[in-house]
Every structure is written in structure tokens, then in C-alpha cells.
Structure 1
């Protein structure tokens, strides 16, 4: 049962997202019949999945939502905002209920109580529509007939067709009725499907003398001949005339169905833990591969050059294969940004309505792919940026009209691939950032003096919005004003190995741009020694290495520095940064790594540089989790654990 609920949760979230996307699309284009049919199918399928569990209130709500969509498909009610609002409320309620269902197997008390309110909302919507539209056709096409019509090829819907649902009486055999013979005599039969009225739980419960079948079919008619064929059993048959409009046609000809099925069979749902395990194995292979290098050196040291060359050749071949394996596994983790982007339209709609603002959210580049973990971790920073645009950026409609702007605001969420990185923009056409107000806020909060703020360049003043606790909001709300926001965004992007930039023009809008890696890949490390221990430093953090004479070091206040190409570089010792004893013995020359810390360059003294290696860095866990200055761990070729340092964090 646990596995069944888990599978239900996965499919339910997909169906909820599909329904939400279609309903949002319908709000923008009410005449789009494909989105209407897609939303109907999502709710219909979701209702069927819910029926497997004891979730009666949810099934009732979804049944009423399905009826509302069915009426819209039949053309008896109009698709507008008042039609979409209750359906989106249902979708949101189902989405919020899934976690509780997974944990307990049933609806929580709070969600159970909300079901009654949603039923009243849906019922009142249908009642009001029927009262407001007296001229609408009174006959509503049943759901089973609509679903049955979609199984026909488009060519078969050019003329009037009749949907047939025949439920033979269980004792029909004793009355001399033969259901299949009756169906076979129907004129122009175009589709036939059989199903069971009741599922038989066991073979001993099966009664071969009782009819347990439901027959559904489509005939070209005419209706009079069908009524004549069933004249003796009218109580067992339902006949529905299907209209000739495009609303009943499937979205693609039937000759493409095998192709769609083939595409579906090419994909399969795999537990992400299995792919993560493959990543770990690939990392262990990298470690084993690195172990061949010292082995070749040992062979060369013993005078066996032929063996050393053979080991070196094997190392190169294994390195190529491991790189191919790692690339294949990382690509298996790639998913489109759509998995994160598609969550924002509904959020923007609800938030803008609460703020009383009208705007459009435009999404571009949602098909760009990145590592599953990166895509998942992008939601929080993007959420902050979009909320920032909604609350601070986009002006109310009246204010926009005063400045000759379109009444509706616009937020653009755009992604594109740049080499091995993805670049994401969040652009609003709102009021922009007032640099003078930012300077004044910085002075009021004690971040700098008035004199410093007056001479601060615009570029640096813009960066003040990323300071912890900084906010220009005058009022505290659930969206802004608490001093928590852009600094969190910047830290989140930095944890993903990315950078964040901001551009703004007063009165025109603001653009946030950040670049993050497409995937977490193997890291090239420089292995150094300090205090008798070895540590790894990402080569990307190291600008250059210098062999510095001791006499070139100059004391400056409480620290030390040296001159490099007419530039003063502060000098630190790695052992001091790690708070470990320095190695004994003085050396005339110092081995210095010149690294970047923000916009500054810092020299870091190490005892020795051992080697360069390419390896997979694992994040910290257990007691080491959260230790500042430690980015992760990896294994050396000889099996020793190596701590990978974050020098910028250590220097801070």
C-alpha cells in the first residue's frame, strides 16, 4: 500500500501541474479548446486515481470539477475568470493535500473541512451559470461520451455520430438477449470497447451465467435505426448524439498514435537515489583511476620503465572511459527548467490579485536542461526575485498610466544556455531602484556614513541591496519589509556555484541576472600541505602561484603584505586560517597561492604543493556539516580522505 500511495503522489502532482497549466492558459486564451480538453482529462484521470483510496471528499470535489469542465466542453457555459477561479482553488487544495495523504493515507481534518467549502463553491458556480444562461442547450454531453469521441480519428467526426453505452441486465441471458449479437447488428459501427461493470475479486466469485459487461460504441447512425435496434431494452441503453464541431476531435490523427506510444515506451521513471548511487560509483572509479599514477611512479622508481609505461597507458584508457561514464550519468540527472518555472504562473496570479495589481508573467527558455538538484534549488531564489518584482517593482495600474506605461505590468522569466552554464534573467518593467533612497537607507541603518554614501559609485550603491537585513520597504508585510530577501538570494546562488548581478533604471524597471553551472561536475584540485596535513583547493579559485623571498614580505599594521606587479597583496598563512600549528623549520622562500576573495586578491602561504588531481567532491555530512571554510571531501588515489577548502569563506 505504501508503494501504491507513493506512486499516486507522483502521478497526482504531475496531473495537478498539468491542470494548473491548462487553466492558466485558458485564462489568457478562453477559446483554446485543446487546453480545455487537457484540463478535463487531467481532472478526470486524477479522480480515477483518487478512487483507489478512501478519499471520498476529494473524489466528490473532483467529480463536481469534472462536471463543470464537461459543461464548458459541451458549450453550455462560458470559460472566463469566474469559471477558472473555483477550479484553480480545487487544484491548489489537491496539491496541498498530497503530503498528508502520503504520510497518513487519508485527508487531514483541515483539508476535509475545506472540501465542503469547495463543493459549495462548485455547486453555486454551476447553479449560477445555469440561471444566467437560460438559452444554453439543456442537454449536457456525458463525460463517458466525450472520452469515447476522442478515440475516433478526425475523419470520422466530419458527420454526426452517436455514442452508445449499453449496460446489459445481469440476467439478460435468461431473457434470451445476446448483447454482442445486438451490437453486431448496429449500422456503421466505428468503435467498440468492452469493460467490466464490477471487478471480480476471486475466481470462486465469478458467475458465468450473469452478464457483467459494459459495452461502449460509436455508430454513424442514423439515430432512428439505433433506437429501433434497442427498442426492446431501452432502459439498458443510453444514446448520445455527438456534435460535428472540432471540440470532439482528438488533437492528432490516429496514425500518429503508435509513434506517441513508442515515444512513451522510450522513457521510464527511475528512482533518483539509483542515479545518485551511479554518481557515487563514478566518483569511486575516479579515485581508483587516480591511484594508478603513484603506482606508475613506483614502477619507474624501481627501474621498470616498461611496466610504468603500461600502467600509464591503462590509466589514460580508464580515464577516458570513466569520463564517458560520468558524462552519461550526469546527463541522466538533467531535467528541463520547466519543472521549476511552471510553478510560478499560479503563484504570480494569486499574489497579484492580493496586491491589486494586473500583470503578465512571460516565461522563455523553460526547455533548457540542468542537473536535477540545481533545477530544484533554483525555486527559492527565483521566488524571492519574482516576489520582489511584484511587491517593489510593478506599480499599481493608476500609477503606471500616469507615467504613460501600459496598464498591465510585465515580468519576464528567461533562461538560456551559455557554454557549461545557464543564464537566467528576472526582468520587470516597474519603477526601478532609486539609488538615492538606497544610499539614505544604508546611512539610516548604520552601514556607512553620509559622507561615504555621497561619494559611493552607482554600481557599488546598487550592490547594497544584497547586504544582510537591508530593505527599503516602509511597511512590513508577508511579502517584504522584514530585511530578508536579496541577501538570501545571493547566498543561494553562490552555494550553487553561481554569481548574481543586478541592473536597474529608475522608472524603467529592474533586471536580475544570475549564472549557475548546468551540472555538478568533477573538480580539478590543487593538493597543498599546511601544518603537516594535506588539503585540496579548487584550481578555479587560484589565480597564480608565486615563490616569494622572505625579504619581500613587509609588515603592515597587524598583518603582512608583498608587492606583486605594482599591487599590494595582503599575505595570510593557511595554517593560521585553519588554526593549526605551523610546520617546524624556516625556509628562505615562501610558496604563495594568489587567490581571489571577492574583488580583492589575497596571498596564502602553504608549505608545499603536492599534486594536481581531478576528482568528485562530496558535500559535508554528519559532524562536519556546516563547518565554515570546508566545501567538501574527496578521496586521494592512495585512499586518504582529503578536505576541500573554501578559501574565500576561510579568509572572511
Structure 2
């Protein structure tokens, strides 16, 4: 791909996302001046970038959209759905075009055919504005207030303020007015400029009894308090409410490429993700090389060279510290905020809820939580299924909600939290919830389990059936659901990322899905175990605890075995049987048992021996071994041997 086209695609996606967010903020608050200005800048910059290439009618369409926003800035048209909808349609069209542009270097034919329709939508919006000529269109921000707004932005101030333009009457002194005393009585005065309304007269023509001042000021007080100060001279004062954003930029070009602050622009740069991945791989190789020093030290000790063994171990500890620091820094470089995924949902929820006729408020929390780039980039698909599930299955239509004494607008929550070395993402709705009996009936009807099996399951277990392949409670197939692949895809995707999905639901109150994922999965803490003369790695995260079990404590339960641990009955399996590599060794002593969590249940897995712990870089299986059940990947031990890393949940 051409380097310029590649750069255009990256920046265009950022500008499209920025414009989308600003337009939806305007939809929620049409008087949000900062959002309007930011949307205009994004469209203007995008149009400029498009103008560098030959993308057919794209530049002209963006120019029309820019004109509409320019009229809104000038107060000539009202900011409402009639303005926002066509511009969002344009943005979506440009967004859909980027992949084709990246591949071919030009506007795809399918997108070019849509250009005439989009121009018609924009022209129709302009015509409708001209015909309507609304009388309640908001007044444009005056030039004097705009100057004060820019001045306060440059100073770093933020919040709502009152801009004041005070032109004292020339005869004000004879009325007992003192303009400077009046303006000084304003609470929270943040800026004051005193100038002459007219050029300074010659000394012989100067009249000391006439006031020729022009006073401009900014106060942090309320509009009511400002009006009270000038209540006796309202004809001499103009007041205007300003809203200054905290991150407003100053001292830079008026049309920047993105909404980031100059400080962030000066301290960040784009790096190809493959370069970061290469550094992670090198750091992993260093970990393997570092681990090889331990058996080397043992070999020196076995040959009677204790001092050499001690020096090797000392070097091992120092290299271990440096490698850990290096790996931590490289891993941190791969971390990106969940905002990169979360910010795609407001527009999706807006469009989908309008299409299905439901009023929905999307609440996003914790978007600044960071995780590994690969995890963040692969989260969109499972979250998309959950959000669609909430919109279609979870939230009731407006009339039904009112009958149930619920707010007419449904609430969809997308929240992220960090818990130790994991992130927890919650997708919750305040809709109808899940009826376990309905889920049970649907599972039986679709042949997922028999009636006898369904009757033995608890309500909690029954709800987990929604993740089964082919499961759906929808009576018919719609655009959003009914095919039985949504929640199954969620479970598969999250499992592939090394996470789990949990479901909580209360009929009539709503449903919550909890996705628990590792923050980073490049480096793995392993417990190395021995079975049948072979060594295997078990991720530490899969092990609840280890236990030394006397043979006398093992009891036969039907066709299996179990033991009691702290008043709980734990099923007992042998890792050799699970792997089908060797029969369990007959032992006269105690069994070494790993207590492993499988779903909501703890299971004991016996091994021949527990060797040691190791921190390694696990590589996924490739070639003939790819897709082998129960094997998560491979890694290299310090002595050069290949170690298979087990996926305990799949084995069990």
C-alpha cells in the first residue's frame, strides 16, 4: 500500500470517529458549542486530506457537509436531527470507503455509485432549511464574545463564564455612574480590557466630562448575578454565556488533524505494531536464555565448583531483574485504552435503536482502562453481540416499559474495571431479564438437552445454556437475532482471548454479562508438572491451589473418584488419563493434586510430581498441531526442551 494512502487511512478513521462523537454530543445537547466547533474542524480537516487525492466526488460531498456545519456555527440554521442525520450518513459512507481506498488507492465503485444519493440528501437538507427559515434559530456568537472565548481558552480557563461588553453612556458621569466601579463589582472577574470607542481626540478637543470607554470583561459568576450588577443600565451592556472546554487548544494551527492536546502530540508517535511484537518476541527469547542459567549453575555445583555456581546464580538474578524491566516496558508499549473499542458503540446504538423503534441511553464507564492491543482489538465482536442482544432481547418497547412503571428510555451500560491482572467488562441492560423456564423450554425444543437433563439443572445452570451453539429464544429470525450464533460467538471469542463470560439476570429487572479477561497474555506464569515421565506446563491462573492427598482419603463415587476438602466434595481425575499418555503410577504415598477451577466447579487433577514454576513466552500451536484440544501452546525451557502448555478447561 502506498505510504501516503496508508497515512490517510489512519488519520481519516480518527477524524471520522471524532466527528461522530461530536455530532452525537450535539444531538444530546444542541447548544454544545464546543462539540459543534470540533465536528466542523474534523470535517474540514478530512475534506483537506481527501483533496490531496483523486477520490471522485468525496471532496465535494464533504464540502457540502462542511457548509452545513458552517451555517450552524454562524447561527443561520438550527442544530437538530435534520442537520445531524445527513452528516452522519456522509461520515458512515466515508468510513465504509476507507478499506477499499487502502486496497486500490481509489474510491470503490460501490461507494461512488452512492455519491449522487448522498448529494441529494445534503441538498435536500439545505433546501429544507431555506424553506423553513426557523424563527427560533439561535443567534450567532458575536465577534466580541468569540474573541473573549478564544482569549479564555488560551489562558487555560474552563467552565461556564459570562462575557460582558459594557459601553457606558457618554453622559454617564452626570447620572452618577462610575463605569470602572460598576465593572469592578462583578464577582469572580477573570479578565478586563478597557479601551476607547473612538480614536483618541486631539488635546484641544478632549472633553473630560464625557465617557468614551469600551469595557470588555469575563466573569465566572452566573448570568443572573451579572444582570443584577447592570440592572440599572441594561441598555449599555451586552451579556453572553460562554462555555470553555478544559482541553481547548491554544497557540496552534486553527485546523489541527485531531482533537489531542499539543502536549500529547509532542510526546507520542505512531509505531507499526509489528515492531512492538518483534520486541516482545526478543524479550521472550531473553527470558528463555535467562532460564538456561539455572541448570548451568546446577551443573557447575555438581562438578564441585561451588564458587562458579554462585557467580552464575548471581548473574542470573541480575539478568532476571533487567529482563523483567525490559519485558514490562515492552508489554506496556502494547497497552492501549479500551476507548479505542468502546467509542464505536454510541453511533451503533443510536442507529440500531432508531431502526428497531426503541429509545435507548448508552452509558459508557471505564473507557480509560488499558489492556493488550490484541485483546482490545478483538473485543469489538463479542461486545457487539452482547449490545445487540441487549437492544433486541433485553430492552422492552417504550409502551411496555411504561406499563411496568419503568422509564420510557431503556438503559444500556458498558463498563470496564481493572481487577488485579484482569479487566472486567460489564454489559448490562435494565430490560425484561431472562426467564429460566423459558430458557429451559427453548433448550429442550432445540435439542440442546433432553427434558430429563433439563429437569435436573438449577436455574443458574439453565441460564448458562444461552451460550450453547444454536441456542436462541427468538420466535423468528430478524436482522439482529434469532439465528442462535450470537452468545455462542461471544463465549468462543472470549475463550480464545483467555477469558471467561458470566451471566446474571433477574426477570423484570435486567441482564448483566461479565467478561473477565487478562490485561496481557504474552508472558505466562507456569507450574511445571510431571506425568508418565513427561513434563507439561499448567498456567498458574488455572490453579486454585495444590494439595497433598493421602490415598486413604480417596473415595469411590459411582464410576469415578472423589475426596473431601474443607467440607466440600471434589471430583478427582488423573492428568495421565486426561492426556492418554500413561496410566497413573501406583503409589503408596500421597498424591500430588492440583485443584483446578472448571466453570463454577473445583476439580482435583492428580500428577506424578510438581517440578517448579517458570515464567515463559507461550507460542500458539501451528502446523499439524494447530487446533489440538487441550493444548494452549508451546514454550522453551531453559535447557532447550520444548514444553507443551495445557488448557485445563478444555481437557476437563
TM-score by length of 1: 0.79
Which deviates further from its counterpart, 79-88 or 364-373? Answer: 364-373
**Deviation per CA, 1:453-480, whole angstroms, max 9, x where unpaired?**
4564322222222222221111111211
1:564 Cα deviation (Å)? 4.7
Moved more, 4-13 or 481-490: 481-490
Partner Cα separation in structure 2 for residue 604 and residue 256 of structure 1: 65
For the 8 Å contact 1:292–1:637, the answer to whether it is kept is: yes
User: What is the Cα deviation at residue 493 of structure 1?
Assistant: 2.1
- Sort the Cα spacing of 1:545 and 1:519 in 2 relative to 1 into closer, same or farther, 3 A: closer
Q: Residues 448-459 of structure 1: matches in 2 within 5 Å?
A: 448-450=449-451, 453-454=454-455, 456-459=457-460
CA contact (8 A) 1:427 1:512 kept: yes
Of the structure 1 ranges 609-618 and 315-324, higher mean CA displacement relative to structure 2 is found in: 609-618
- Aligned to 2:618, what secondary structure does the other structure show? coil
**1:262-341 → structure 2 map (5 Å cutoff):** 262-341=263-342
Instruction: Kindly tell me the number of residue pairs found equivalent between the two proteins.
Output: 567
Superposition pairs of residues 340-351 of structure 1, within 5 angstroms: 340-351=341-352
* 1:616 corresponds to: 617
Say which is worse superposed, 291-300 or 485-494, in terms of deviation: 485-494
CA distance in 2, matches of 1:625, 1:221: 81
* Cα contact 2:503–2:514 (8 A) shared by 1: yes
Is the partner of 1:627 in helix, strand or coil? coil
Match of 2:438, SS state, is helix
**Counterparts of 1:53 and 1:395 in 2: how far apart (Å)?**
47
Q: Aligned with 2:63: secondary structure? A: helix
Give me the whole-angstrom Cα distance separating, in 1, the residues matched to 2:465 and 2:247.
54
How far residue 542 of structure 1 moved from its aligned partner, in angstroms, is 3.4
C-alpha RMSD over aligned residues: 3.6
Deviations 1:524-568 (A, max 9, x none): 2122334443321223333455666778877777x6535354766
Q: Residues 320 and 61 from structure 1, CA distance in 2 versus in 1: closer, same or farther, beyond 3 angstroms?
A: same
* 2: CA distance, partners of 1:378 / 1:45: 30
| Cα drift, residue 22 of structure 1 | 0.6
CA–CA distance in structure 2, aligned partners of residues 337 and 529 of structure 1: 39
Does the CA-based 8 Å contact 1:409-1:429 persist in structure 2?
A: yes
Secondary structure at the counterpart of residue 57 of structure 2: helix
2:334·2:372 contact (CA, 8 Å) conserved in 1? Answer: yes
Partner of 1:32: 32
State the distance in 2 between where 1:221 and 1:12 align: 47
Counterparts of 1:331-410 in structure 2 under 5 Å? 331-410=332-411
- Structure 1 pair 590/577, CA: closer, same or farther in 2 (3 Å)? farther
Q: Which runs of 5+ in 1 are unaligned?
A: 161-219, 224-242
Contact 2:440 2:454 in 1 (8 A): yes
- Residue 477 of structure 2 aligns to a residue in which SS? coil
| Correspondence list, 1:143-292, <5 A | 153=151, 260-292=261-293
Greater displacement, 71-80 / 633-642: 633-642
Shift of 1:609: 3.7
Is 1:497–2:498 an aligned residue pair? Answer: yes
In the alignment, the residues of structure 1 paired with residue 461 and residue 243 of structure 2 have an alpha-carbon distance, to the nearest angstrom, of 60
Find out whether 1:132 has 2:132 as its counterpart: yes
* Contact kept? 1:153, 1:250, Cα under 8 Å: no
Q: 2:148 & 2:118 partners in 1: Cα distance? A: 29
Q: Give the structure 2 partner of residue 75 of structure 1.
A: 75
Instruction: Please say which of residues 413-422 and 356-365 is displaced more in the overlay.
Output: 413-422
Q: CA deviation at 1:56?
A: 2.3
Counterpart in the other structure of 2:526 = 525
The CA deviation string for residues 51-108 of structure 1, in whole angstroms up to 9 with x for no partner, is: 1111121111111111111111111111101111110100000011000001001111
Structure 2 unaligned spans of 5+: 155-162, 167-194, 199-237, 254-259
Q: How many angstroms apart in 2 are the aligned matches of 1:155 and 1:413?
A: 32
**1:120 equivalent in structure 2:** 120
Shift of 1:13: 0.5
Tell me whether 560-569 or 70-79 shows the greater mean CA deviation. 560-569
1:340–1:379 CA contact under 8 A, matched in 2: yes
- Residues 268 and 455 (structure 1), Cα distance of their counterparts in 2 relative to 1, 3 Å cut: same
Aligned position for 1:427: 428
- Contact 2:563 2:572 (C-alpha < 8 Å) held by counterparts: no
User: 8 Å contact 2:33–2:243 — kept in the other structure?
Assistant: no
Where does residue 5 of structure 2 map in the other structure? 5
Render the CA deviation track for 1:438-466: whole Å, top value 9, x for unaligned: 22223323444545545643222222222
Within 2, Cα distance between the matches of 1:79 and 1:569? 64
State how 1:496-515 maps to structure 2 within 5 Å.
496-515=497-516
Q: Return the alpha-carbon distance in structure 2 between the equivalents of residues 482 and 65 of structure 1.
A: 39
Take 2:50 and 2:73, find their aligned partners in 1: how far apart are those partners?
23
Deviations 1:265-305 (A, max 9, x none): 11111111111111111111111111111011111111111
Counterpart of 1:87 in structure 2 is 87
Shift of 1:612: 2.3
Partner SS state of residue 633, structure 2: strand
Change (3 A) 1:152 1:31: closer
Structure 1 residue 361, shift from structure 2 partner:
0.8
Tell me the TM-score normalised to structure 2 length.
0.79
Does the CA-based 8 Å contact 1:152-1:250 persist in structure 2?
A: no
Name 2:470's counterpart in structure 1: 469
Q: Is the 8 A contact 1:337 1:366 kept in 2?
A: yes
- For residue 56 of structure 1, give the secondary structure of its aligned residue in structure 2: coil
